[in-house]
Amino acid sequence: MGAHPEDGEREQMGAGDLLVKGAEMVLPDRIVVGDLRVASGVISTVAPDGGVEPLAGETVIDGEGYLLIPGAIDPQVHFREPGQPDKETIGSGSRAAAAGGVTSFLDMPNNVPAATSMAAMQAKIDSAARTAVTNYGFFIGATPNNLSDLVDAVGTPDFPILTPGVCGVKVFMGSSTGDLLVHQQEHLETIFGGTGGIIATHAEDEDRLNARKADFQDRTDIAAHAEWRDDECALIATKRAAALAKDHSHRLHVLHLTSGVEADWLAQNKGNLITTEVCPQHLTFDDEDVERLGPRLQMNPPIRYSKDRETLWRRLLDGTIDCIATDHAPHTLENKALGFPMAHSGMPGVETSLALMLTHAADGKCTVSDVARWMCEGPAKVDGMVGKGRLEEGFDGDLALVDMENSRTISDGDTWTTVGWTPLAGMELTGFARMTVVGGVQVHGRSTGGSLRGESLSKPGGAGSALKFA
């Protein structure tokens, strides 16, 4: 007997063995109705013409009428562990990711205390193994004086280290505090020149931020946020990071691109060493929305103006921007209620990102294949993830079965994130994941007419593993 994602019934199965029949499969080169088998956690058969017969002990999913895409990958989240369980943990963030059709994440190091040593990284990897239901990887945080710790984690340019679960080095060039702020040239040169792997940077210029702070310190209107952290602040830092990457022949990933001037500059100057990303919120909202929603849309770098949003779309479509990430950075509603400028910057987004981008596709801003390229294959290529991001034989069985026919209005109560809210509350979205599969194991499901929150189907640590990098 087959199992349909609407009926909430699942057959007993061997771990990682399932067959999806009759779905619209988003393959690397086309969308076609067919069957897909996962055996022992790996895609073993992709049959565009269908006709695959079930095997004994295999879970059979009726995919007719649904879109089957590779599990989405979120290459920038802040799951707040250790130190801030009231905002998020690795376990809660992973469940939120699964609810959104996201099967792999890369978590950032600005924790309490910050993850700036291999011991701290190992503690996060161990926690994920116990509590996550998706695949996981972690950036180690750079400080002005922790080169030896970075080398322990990622090696040197001549002798890189590829440790499962360790994806690269995060550099906060601005908008940080304590040891994680690295903006002096000599320290940046040391990091770019002395480490292996990829460097991901938060590109805002700390000197410009400090020089202009007094001009805005008495402002309580939220428009001041984007005016202070202006596009010149972003462009200066992005140019500086790009120069360091080219001087040291070092792979650089520019995080959460927000300004049109940065995107246009990168279109002409990024070359082969540099990649970049954009967040769904910067493709969706502008300053008028920030005025309407207030601190719910307060983040660093800020949401800017309609001209920036449209340029980001253009550069995403022309390939300048390589992938999409959420910068999932939850804060409590109690904190957000403090208003600007007291409220902390950041928003939850990991569980709504896929549906939001598929809604843009349904509205004609892009295609479903574009979304799969930006949210599945793109992050895997940028970060060198092994076996991720494609519906292809030999790739890992990470899948999202998506409903593109039914729209739902999302509310704060529909979320799995610990903080329990979303800036998308009240928006009608399509493209919710009906079923999320990690390594052939079903980890989350929704039913038509049921709770939009859906149901977690995997115990903590019951699916997922440390990501491997090439």
Looking at the structure of the chain, the number of domains it has is 2
Domain extent at residue 421: 18-69+393-456
Determine, yes or no, domain membership for 221: yes
State the pTM of this model.
Answer: 0.96
Q: Are residues 278 and 291 in the same domain?
A: yes
Determine, yes or no, domain membership for 400: yes
CATH number for the domain that contains residue 261: 3.20.20.140
Q: Are residues 26 and 148 in the same domain?
A: no
What's the pLDDT at 293? 98
Length of the chain: 470
Q: Are residues 97 and 212 in the same domain?
A: yes
What's the pLDDT at 26? 98
Q: Are residues 181 and 33 in the same domain?
A: no
- From the CB of residue 186, how many other CB atoms can be counted at a distance below 10 Å? 7
What's the pLDDT at 178? 74
Q: Are residues 273 and 146 in the same domain?
A: yes
Which of 338, 365, 383 is the C-terminal boundary of a domain? 383
What would the pLDDT profile of 74-115 be if each residue is shown by its tens digit?
Answer: 999 999 999 999 999 999 999 999 999 999 999 999 999 999
Q: Pick from 123, 104, 8, 139: which is nearest to 61 by CA?
A: 8
Determine, yes or no, domain membership for 229: yes
Determine, yes or no, domain membership for 214: yes
Q: How far apart are CA 247 and CA 155, in angstroms?
A: 19
What's the pLDDT at 410? 97
Q: How far apart are CA 120 and CA 101, in angstroms?
A: 28
Determine, yes or no, domain membership for 388: no
Which of 333, 358, 383 is the C-terminal boundary of a domain? 383
Q: Are residues 82 and 212 in the same domain?
A: yes
Q: Are residues 193 and 256 in the same domain?
A: yes
CATH number for the domain that contains residue 438: 2.30.40.10
What's the pLDDT at 15? 66
What would the pLDDT profile of 222-233 be if each residue is shown by its tens digit?
Answer: 999 999 999 999
Determine, yes or no, domain membership for 462: no
In this prediction, the residues of the chain whose per-residue pLDDT falls under 70 are 1-15, 177
Query: Does residue 248 contact residue 192 with C-beta atoms inside 8 Å?
Result: yes
CB contact burial 420-429 (16+ within 10 A = b; e otherwise):
ebbbbbebeb
* Strand (E) or helix (H) holding 344: none
What's the pLDDT at 159? 97
What's the pLDDT at 199? 98
Sign of the four-CA dihedral 394, 397, 398, 403: positive
Which of 332, 354, 383 is the C-terminal boundary of a domain? 383
Q: Are residues 92 and 61 in the same domain?
A: no
Q: Are residues 156 and 281 in the same domain?
A: yes
Task: Mark residue 82 as left, alpha or beta (left: phi above 0; alpha: psi -120 to 50; beta: remaining).
Answer: beta
Determine, yes or no, domain membership for 470: no
* Strand (E) or helix (H) holding 335: helix 333-336
What's the pLDDT at 174? 87
What's the pLDDT at 14? 45
Q: Are residues 98 and 197 in the same domain?
A: yes
- List Cβ neighbours of 133 (8 Å cut-off, separation of 6 or more): 91, 94, 95, 98, 438, 443, 444, 456, 458, 459, 460, 461, 462, 463, 464
Q: Are residues 104 and 176 in the same domain?
A: yes
What's the pLDDT at 2? 38
Q: Are residues 327 and 365 in the same domain?
A: yes
Q: How far apart are CA 340 and CA 293, in angstroms?
A: 11
Torsion of CA 19, 23, 26, 27, to 10 degrees: 50
Determine, yes or no, domain membership for 318: yes
